[in-house]
Each structure stands twice: as structure tokens, then as C-alpha cells.
Structure 1
């Protein structure tokens, strides 16, 4: 099955680079490009993509508002936010808007392609550097860092997996760390989403922080 992708970024060169590498990748197809959030929302409605790769900062409607409108719509598109290291103030807003993944623009293009595939299957994805910043942003909000009860109603193994998610590890990395299969790691993540009533992997990161399983770092 081909993953249909919309690219939303106000920098034509960024879109061109992504479009070129996606065009050369089996199983991925660019079905539209947007230079601002409003155009991204329109394309998400008309093209019904599986994934929208969304810049956070764009003129007019920004990526956060566009993400909220897309995820609240009926199209079912997953949104990956593209961010830079100075976007800390935007991360929590993007989380609340329903973004399924956070990537940094200086990541290797192959990693971004892998992220598109992962998010298209319904899994969330966080670059480790973004995970650390997201946790720090959450920790610094007044009243947000009150510890959650340690008893989360999960098994010891599920707690291990949650800790690794909180540290930004992918399913493949979790599998390697715990000497289990990737399919088993994905099963644990699915169970955690259900048991902890978490919308996505990003929320699991926050729960791991609240439970004291990971710490905000500088």
C-alpha cells in the first residue's frame, strides 16, 4: 500500500528536498504541497493523505492550528511536526493539537522517511532530542510536574517499556534493549496506550515523566 503524503512548509527548498527523496522511495507518494497552514488543511480535506509533514512556523495559520483542524477532522491523517532546536515554546501546543510525531529538520532524510512510514501505521514517533525538550517544557510549567501515583496498573515489563518510551526510544530500539521482537515491543506499546488511556506515544512520554520514570534534563 502506498502512503500518501502532504508536505507543508513555507520554505520551497525544504519541500523540494523532501519531495525529491519521497519520489525516489517505493511505497511513498507526495499528493500535495502547502506553503502555509490553511493550504495544508485544505489539502488534507481534498487529498485525504495518510500523513502530513508539517512545519510549525508558517505565515498566516501556523502548523499548530493546522494540526488541530486536521486531527479533529474526519480524514484520519496523521501529522508529523518538523521543528528546530529553538522551537521549545511550540512543542507543548503541538502535542495538545494532536501531532503524532516530532522530528528535527537536521535529521537525515532517511530517518524522516522512516518516520513517515511509522506514523502511517498509527504509531507515534519522537526524535530523542525533541523528547528531552518536550519533557523539559512540560516540567517547567507551573503545577504541571506534580508526580502521578506510582501504581499505574501496569506490569513490571510494561513499566520498563514505558520508561524506554519516555527516553525517546523507538519500537525497534526497545526490542533491542529488552531482547524481544519488534512485534512484541509494539504489542506492549499498544497495551500501554489502552491501559493508560493515552491518545498516542507522545502522551506516554508525559505519563512516564509524571510517574517519575524519566527526568527532565538540561
Structure 2
């Protein structure tokens, strides 16, 4: 199995590479220190699996995962990170990650995740699995609760909900691990679909649909 390791801490990358290289069926084909370098390396090396950190400079792991899903659909991404929030898990899964582990995971668990995802399956550590279950339940409830907005996609409803909670575009981008430009594009699309011209009108429509009632989590 060919593995690319992506993490912005050189010592951690080196230690992980050494640990995985000691396993007979794994070849560490490369390392990268940010998401942009990860995409470039993956396109060049065509690994079976990319072990991806999330919080990195230049391009974060979520955006890199989304790029890899589009450009290298045959390569699996397994997130290996210190971030354990529900938002982090949700963002990674939506971007196309097949696995999610915390950095406290041992070598054997990392190997199980790599093998499962290489073979087309999925692997989520206990914390990530609980967050994923909660996410599925929340999105099901939201879909049932908001039939008045059938014109919006699931992601657009999520963005609109955060707008209605009072979060700025920058705060939404930080929470969902996407760029400010991506959020601006979503917000513009939502305006168009709802037939509104500004944030206040969009918030009013959102609240009519029952969105925006949770805590803002303002940043």
C-alpha cells in the first residue's frame, strides 16, 4: 500500500513515516507540509491512501481533501488530526474523507484505517463515529423541519442557518474549514435561489423556515 503523509510538523511526519515504514505492506511514498503541496504530491505519486492533517498553512486539509476527491477519486483520504469537534468531522466527511482518526491513535489502529479505506470502506475512530452519527441525525431533522426551502441544497441550508445565527462569512469559513471565497459564493447562490438581495432578507427567510435558532458560536 502506497501512503502519502501530510502534516505541517516535520518531526511528527518523520516519526509517523518511520512507524508506518516498519510495516511490511506499507510504502511511504512521500510527505507534504501543507494542503497545496499534498495535492501536488498526490497527483505526481498516485498514492493509495493520503494521511491528512486538517489544520495546515497555505491550504487546509479539508480543501485539499476536496481537491483530491475531484482530481484523484481512486485515492482514499484518511484524516489524522488533533481536531475532534463535530464541525471538523463534518467538514472532512463532506469533503470526501473516508476515515477520521485523532493523533492519539496507535499504529495498529492507523493501519486498520488505511487498509479499510484503501479497500473502498470507511474507518472512524470512536469520537469521530459519535460526531458522524450526530451529524446524520441533525441533517435528517433539518431536512424534515425545513420543507419550505426545497430549492436549497443541504450545504446551502447549513450556510443559511449559520448566517441566520449571526456568523460572519469569515466565521462560517473557519467553522466549516473552507475559504472565505467559498462561503461568499454559497451566500450569493442562496440569495439568488431565495430571491433576496441582502443578508437581512435572507435571515428573515431563514427564520421563517425555523433556521438560526441555535447558539451562534460567534468567532
Matches within 5 A, 1:28-67: 28-67=26-65
Where does the alignment leave 5 or more consecutive residues of structure 2 unmatched?
146-219
CA distance in 2, matches of 1:75, 1:34: 19
1:157 alignment counterpart: none
Q: Is the 8 A contact 1:84 1:105 kept in 2?
A: yes
Specify which of 134, 137, 149 is matched with residue 136 of structure 1. 134
Matches within 5 A, 1:53-132: 53-74=51-72, 76-132=74-130
Q: Deviations over 1:153-179 (max 9, x none)?
A: xxxxxxxxxxxxxxxxxxxxxxxxxxx
TM-score normalised per structure 2: 0.61
Q: Deviations over 1:153-207 (max 9, x none)?
A: xxxxxxxxxxxxxxxxxxxxxxxxxxxxxxxxxxxxxxxxxxxxxxxxxxxxxxx
Q: Is the 8 A contact 2:52 2:61 kept in 1?
A: yes
The alpha-carbon deviation at position 83 of structure 1 amounts to 2.8
Structure with greater proportional helix content: 2
CA distance in 1, matches of 2:113, 2:79: 11
Where does the alignment leave 5 or more consecutive residues of structure 1 unmatched?
148-218
Give the secondary-structure state (helix, strand or coil) at the position aligned to 2:142: coil
The alpha-carbon deviation at position 84 of structure 1 amounts to 2.6
CA distance in 1, matches of 2:80, 2:70: 20
**Cα gap change, 1:92 to 1:74, in 2 (>3 Å):** same
Q: Is the 8 A contact 1:50 1:120 kept in 2?
A: yes
Aligned CA RMSD, in angstroms, stands at 2.1
Q: How many residues align?
A: 145
Give the secondary-structure state (helix, strand or coil) at the position aligned to 1:41: helix
The alpha-carbon deviation at position 142 of structure 1 amounts to 9.6
Structure number, greater radius of gyration = 2
